[in-house]
Amino acid sequence: MLYSSILKPIFFKLDPETAHHLIVDGFHTAGKIPGVNSMMHAMYGVTEAPELAVDLFGIHFPHPVGLAAGLDKNAKAIDTFSSIGFGFAEVGTVTPKGQSGNEQPRLFRLPPDEALINRMGFNNEGTEAMARQLQRRQVHRIPVAVNIGKNKVTANELAHEDYRSCIKVLYPHGDFFVVNISSPNTPDLRALQHGDELRTLLGEVLLEVQAQAARAGAAPKPVLVKIAPDMTDEQLELTVATIMESGVSGIIATNTTVSREGLTHRNASETGGLSGLPLRERSTEVIRAVYRQTEGKLPIIGSGGIFTASDAYDKIRAGASLVEIYTSLIYKGPGVLRELTNGLKERLRKDGYRNISEAVGADHR
C-alpha cells in the first residue's frame, strides 16, 4: 500500500534511470543504518514455509522467487534486497572493467503494457568494485548469484578471457554464477549463444571454476547460462544441446526480448530489451521447450513477465525449478513477493502437492 499509493507515483514522475539509482542508492545508504534491514524484513519479509523451500545445485533456497539481474548491477544494495522477501538474488551483470554503458536515455517505461525497455549496455563499476561490496555483506538470508558478462570493447573471440576474469575475482563471493550471453544491448553478444563460440566459452568458464574450487579445497560452484527468447526453434535446440554437453548446472530462460508484438505505448519504438508482461508467454514457451529437450535433467530458472502467482506457477509447471522477477517489482513494489509466495502455496494445496518441487514440469506428465 505504501509503495502503490505514495512511492510509485513519485518514482514514476521521475526519469526511469533516475528512479532506478534513487532506489538502489537509497537501499545502499539505508542498509548501513543499524536496524534498517531488520525493519525492512519485518515489513516485507516472507515467512519461511517448508512447502516452498527448494534445494537445488547443493544450495538451499527458502522459496523459489528471486530477483533477476539488472537491478543491483554492482551489489551495492544486496543486504536490503536480501531483507525484503526474495528467495535468492542475482547481482550484475558485471564486467571485468567498469564501463559507462550506452548513452542516455536508455531506460523506458511502458505503463499500459506493464513493461520496460532498456538499452543500458552493461553499465557497471567492474569486478573489483563488486567484490568489495560483496565482502561487506552483513545479511546472509538468501543465496546470491553473480551474473557475468564481457566488456563492450572485447572481441567475441576473446570473450572467454573476460568471463574467466570475472570468475577469478568474484568466485569467493557468489553462491552461483550466471553466464550472460543473451543481452541485446552489447553488440554481437548474442552470437556467443551458438556453435563453437558457445562451446569454447563454457569450457573456459568451467575450467576457471574448477581451478578456483581446487584452490579453495571445495566442490565447484554452480554455473548457469542465461539465454534469449528470440531464437528460432532450431537455434534454441542447438543452443540447449551445446549447453547440456558443456556440463554446466542449469539454464535461465529468458533474458529480455527485441520483439515489440502487441505493445501500445509510444516507447515501443525505442531500441533495447523488452521486459515485463509482454514477455510472459514467450518465456514460458522457452522453458517448456528446454524442459522437454533436456527431459527435465537440467534445472531451469524461469524469468520474464511474472506479475502474479499464476504466472510463476505456469513457469514452474512448464519446467522451472526457480523463478525471477524484476519488472513486476518496479510496477507493484516489494509487496509482490508475499503475493507471489502466498499464491504459490494456495496453488500447491489445490493441486495436492506437498512441496513446490513436485510441481516442476507437471505439465509434461
Q: Which of 183, 246, 249, 275 is catalytic?
A: 183
- 3-state DSSP assignment of residue 138: coil
The residue whose grid cell reads 563499476 is 125
Which residues lie below 8 Å from residue 27, measured CB to CB, with a gap of 6+? 76, 77, 80, 81
The residue assigned the cell 502474479 is: 308
Burial class (CB in 10 A: 0-12, 13-18, 19+), 278: buried
304, 327 contact by CB (below 8 A):
no
Asked if residue 113 lies in contact with residue 277, where contact means CB atoms within 8 angstroms, the answer is yes
Name beta bridge partners: 322. Answer: 301
Asked if residues 139 and 83 have their Cβ atoms less than 8 Å apart, the reply is yes
Helix segments in the chain, DSSP class H: 2, 8-11, 16-30, 36-44, 78-81, 127-135, 159-170, 195-216, 233-246, 280-294, 309-318, 327-332, 336-351
| CA 42/CA 141 separation, integer angstroms | 13
Measure the CA–CA gap between 289 and 259, rounded to whole angstroms.
Answer: 19
User: Exposed, middle or buried by CB within 10 Å (0-12, 13-18, 19+), for 171?
Assistant: buried
The one-letter code for the residue type at 351 is D
- List the one residue out of 181, 281, 289 whose CA is nearest residue 236: 289
321 catalytic? Reply is: no
Counting Cα atoms < 13 Å in the Cβ hemisphere of 269 gives 1
**What 3-state DSSP class applies to 302?**
strand
Query: How far, in Å, CA of 295 to CA of 97, rounded?
Result: 38
Using the CB atoms, write b or e for 213-224: b if 16+ within 10 Å: eeeeeeebbbbb
Show which residues are catalytic: 183
